[in-house]
Amino acid sequence: MEAAVNTAFDMHGTIAVKSANGQTLDDFCTEYIPEYNRDRFEALAIRLFTGNETVITIFAVDKIRQEDTVLKEGRLPVKKFKLTGISLSSVLSYCSSFNCTLSTGNYNIEDMEIMNK
Q: What is the pLDDT of residue 95?
A: 92
pLDDT greater than 80 at residue 5: no
- State the number of CA atoms in the 13 A half-sphere of 42 facing the CB: 8
Q: Closest Cα partner for 20 from 76, 97, 106, 99?
A: 97
The amino acid present at 20, given as its one-letter code, is: A
The reply to whether the predicted model has a pTM over 0.75 is: yes
State pLDDT tens for residues 84-100.
999 888 888 999 998 99
Q: What is the pLDDT of residue 80?
A: 96
Asked if 37 contacts 26 with a C-beta cutoff of 8 angstroms, the reply is no
Averaged pLDDT for residues 16-24: 92
State pLDDT tens for residues 31-87.
999 999 999 999 999 999 988 899 999 999 988 776 666 667 777 888 999 999 998
